[in-house]
Amino acid sequence: MKLFTSDNAELMDVSELRMDDGNLIVVGTIMGAMPTEAVLTPAELRASLKLLNPKLCFALLGMLFSRQKA
C-alpha cells in the first residue's frame, strides 16, 4: 500500500501491518529511503474515530468499490 502527498509524490510505502502488545505496527519506507515503524495505540485509534462523520464514512465505503486509479 502506498500513501501519497497532496501533489501525488510517494510519501510512504507500507509493507506490513502487524499487532504487537495490543498496538498496530505499520512497517514501511518513507520517501523511498528511510525504513520506519509507526505505532498506533488503542487510545490513538479511539481518538481517530472522533474525526469521522457520516459523509466521510460513505466516501470511504465508496472508495472500497471504486476502480479509479490514483
Task: Report the distance separating Cα 70 and Cα 61, nearest Å.
Answer: 17
The per-residue pLDDT for 67 is 82
Q: 5-43 burial by CB neighbour count: b if 16+ within 10 A, else e?
A: eeeeeeebeeeeeeeeeeeeebebeeeeeeeeeeeeeee
The per-residue pLDDT for 38 is 95
The per-residue pLDDT for 70 is 55
Q: Note down pLDDT in tens along the chain; length 70 residues.
A: 999 999 999 999 999 999 999 999 999 999 889 999 999 999 999 999 999 999 999 999 999 998 876 5
pTM, 2 dp: 0.77
Q: Which amino acid is at 59?
A: A
